[in-house]
Structure 1
Amino acid sequence: MKKDFEYEQMLAGALYFAPNIFPENGSLEGKKLAQKINNEPIENTDKIIAMVRKLFGKTGRSFYVNPPVYVDYGRHVEIGENFYANMDCMFVDVNKIVIGDNVMVGPRVGFYTAGHPTDPEIRIKELEFGSPITIEDNVWIGGNATILPGVTVGKNSIVGAGAVVTKDVPENTIVGGNPARVIREINDVDKKKWEAEMKTYYENLAKNK
């Protein structure tokens, strides 16, 4: 079988020419499946989960992706356990998007692995590249955030709503803005506050049973 040079270049993060990728390695099937997911009645959660499991390259046992969802290929996306993505998220997965466990994603978040040369004469030749995105465990990404090619978001971190993440996010931090910057670290004050809030919640819940 002839080697699919362009597809291999794409996954390697090198320049490639998308129209020359072999049809069997193309993005059409993923886009068609995403379209089916988006047309499925929202109450049919089991069917939606089954189709997303087929769409993505790897999934955990427990997850939910709230339609509509948009992909380039779909099969280059990997999600861990207890993943949730709210509506209107976009996975432009010309390279890998690898997401860990216990990750929550707000509405209209974009994961963009695709990039283009900065030199205009090369860019107009329709050569492009893709760099992988990694989201580590226990990350929360706020609505309308944008994660750009090559970024790693470290574990336990929070990406604020509307942030444009252009570089790696350190573990245990809150970032926001355009371009996103570290606002502060997540610390023991957060832990004590939210443990107290959770205790109050369960106390109130027990009183109301």
Structure 2
Amino acid sequence: MKSEREKMLSGELYDPLDAALIAARERARDLCQRLNEMREGQPEGRRRILVELLPCGGDTASIQPPFFCDYGTNIELGERVYFNFNCIVLDVCPIRVGSFTLFGPGVHIYTPLHPFNAALRRREEFGKPVAIGSDVWVGGGALLLPGIRIGSRTVIGAGSVVTRDIPEGVFAAGNPCRVIRAITE
């Protein structure tokens, strides 16, 4: 029988009040709090927290506090990913971010979803993974919704709500976010 964590990561309905999941979220919140309280003048301390919070890429990530996430362990970052101030990453399903990707201030990345059925929603939720390519720039205040993919070398305009996949090498913006034009060198 699958654990609630295994069900969560595979996108199945799971119980978010499972004791092991609560403990994992508390761990992440404690690490986020410690990170958010540290000054830039403490680079070794910040780096240790990032590696513990984000074991898959925290060693080269640059994050401006405050930063918040559900688990941290479900976030996979490529080389030198940058999160500006006040980003929120809800990682109940895997979130994969390619190298050299930049997130503006206040960007939110969501993977959790809730059933439309109210009785089911009281006790279970599910999620869909998010994948973001390399060399992507996501403008401030953008919302990236569950299940989306953003191709490499794409720019997402500030304040956009990304509800569906965006191909590589384009500028996309709006609510809902749509391709505006190809990016040419």
Instruction: Please classify the TM superposition score into its range, dividing by the shorter chain length.
Output: over 0.9
Q: Provide the residue aligned with 2:40 in structure 1.
A: 42
Instruction: Measure, in 1, the Cα distance between the counterparts of 2:130 and 2:23.
Output: 20
**CA-to-partner distance for each residue in 1:151-182, whole Å, 9 max, x for gaps?**
11101001110000011110111111111011
**CA-to-partner distance for each residue in 1:120-175, whole Å, 9 max, x for gaps?**
3322x231001111111110000000111111110100111000001111011111
Q: Does structure 2 conserve the Cα–Cα contact (< 8 Å) formed by 1:95 and 1:114?
A: yes
Q: Does structure 2 conserve the Cα–Cα contact (< 8 Å) formed by 1:81 and 1:102?
A: yes
Q: Provide the residue aligned with 1:30 in structure 2.
A: 28
Q: Kindly indicate which of the two structures has a greater share of residues assigned to helix.
A: 1
Assess, with a 3 A threshold, how the Cα gap between structure 1 residues 73 and 61 changes in structure 2: closer, same or farther: closer
Q: Does structure 1 conserve the Cα–Cα contact (< 8 Å) formed by 2:50 and 2:59?
A: no
Assess, with a 3 A threshold, how the Cα gap between structure 1 residues 9 and 100 changes in structure 2: closer, same or farther: same
Runs of 5+ unmatched residues, structure 1: 192-209
The one of 148, 161, 170 equivalent to 1:173 is 170
Q: Does structure 2 conserve the Cα–Cα contact (< 8 Å) formed by 1:7 and 1:21?
A: no
Of residues 35-44 and 85-94 in structure 1, the stretch that sits farther from structure 2 once superposed is: 35-44
Instruction: Measure, in 1, the Cα distance between the counterparts of 2:19 and 2:95.
Output: 20
The one of 129, 137, 140 equivalent to 1:132 is 129
SS at match of 2:4: helix
SS at match of 2:46: helix
TM-score (norm 2): 0.93
Output the amino acid matched with 1:160. G
Output the amino acid matched with 1:135. I
Q: Provide the residue aligned with 1:205 in structure 2.
A: none
Of residues 55-64 and 176-185 in structure 1, the stretch that sits farther from structure 2 once superposed is: 55-64
The one of 80, 85, 89 equivalent to 2:83 is 85
TM-score (norm 1): 0.83
Instruction: Measure, in 2, the Cα distance between the counterparts of 1:110 and 1:24.
Output: 21
**CA-to-partner distance for each residue in 1:12-61, whole Å, 9 max, x for gaps?**
10111111242686311011101100111232233212211110130165
Q: Which runs of 4+ in 1 moved over 3 A?
A: none
Aligned-pair CA distance for 1:105: 0.6
Q: Does structure 2 conserve the Cα–Cα contact (< 8 Å) formed by 1:4 and 1:21?
A: no
Q: Does structure 2 conserve the Cα–Cα contact (< 8 Å) formed by 1:164 and 1:178?
A: yes
Measured on the aligned residues, the alpha-carbon RMSD in Å equals 1.7
Q: Provide the residue aligned with 1:14 in structure 2.
A: 12
Number of aligned positions between the proteins:
185
Instruction: Measure, in 2, the Cα distance between the counterparts of 1:52 and 1:142.
Output: 23
Q: Provide the residue aligned with 1:145 in structure 2.
A: 142
Alignment of 1:86-125 (within 5 A): 86-123=84-121, 125=122
The alignment-based identity, stated in percent, is 36
Q: Does structure 2 conserve the Cα–Cα contact (< 8 Å) formed by 1:4 and 1:22?
A: no
Q: Does structure 1 conserve the Cα–Cα contact (< 8 Å) formed by 2:139 and 2:158?
A: yes
Point out which structure has higher relative CO (alpha carbons under 8 A, 6+ apart): 2
Alignment of 1:149-168 (within 5 A): 149-168=146-165
Of residues 15-24 and 33-42 in structure 1, the stretch that sits farther from structure 2 once superposed is: 15-24
